[in-house]
């Protein structure tokens, strides 16, 4: 069984990849939101903006967890 340090690095690496995916999804939602706003679908764009805010909050939590794992 790997030691705790190796496990922490592997976990942090996996979380980093998930965080990159989350940023990519946020960028895609942002582009769709812009298009929706420009094409008169403001209420849907507002919902997409709320989803992006959730991604941002969760990204901060994931980043904090990655930092804690890498420091231990």
Give the pLDDT band of residue 2 (cuts 50, 70, 90): low
The pLDDT of residue 70 = 92
The pLDDT of residue 21 = 95
The model carries a pTM of: 0.79
The pLDDT of residue 3 = 74
pLDDT tens for residues 4-58?
899 999 999 999 999 999 999 999 999 999 999 999 888 988 999 999 999 999 9
CA distance 2 to 37: 50
- Among 66, 31, 67, residue whose Cα is nearest residue 52: 31
62: which residues sit within 8 A by CB, 6+ positions away? 15, 18, 19, 22
């Amino acid at each position: 069984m790997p030691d705790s340090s190796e496990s922490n690095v592997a976990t942090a690496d996996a979380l980093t990849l998930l965080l990159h995916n989350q940023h990519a999804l946020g960028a895609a939602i942002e582009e769709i939101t812009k298009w929706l706003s420009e094409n008169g679908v403001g209420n849907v764009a507002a919902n997409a903006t709320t989803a992006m805010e959730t991604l941002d909050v969760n990204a901060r939590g994931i980043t904090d967890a990655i930092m804690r794992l890498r420091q231990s």
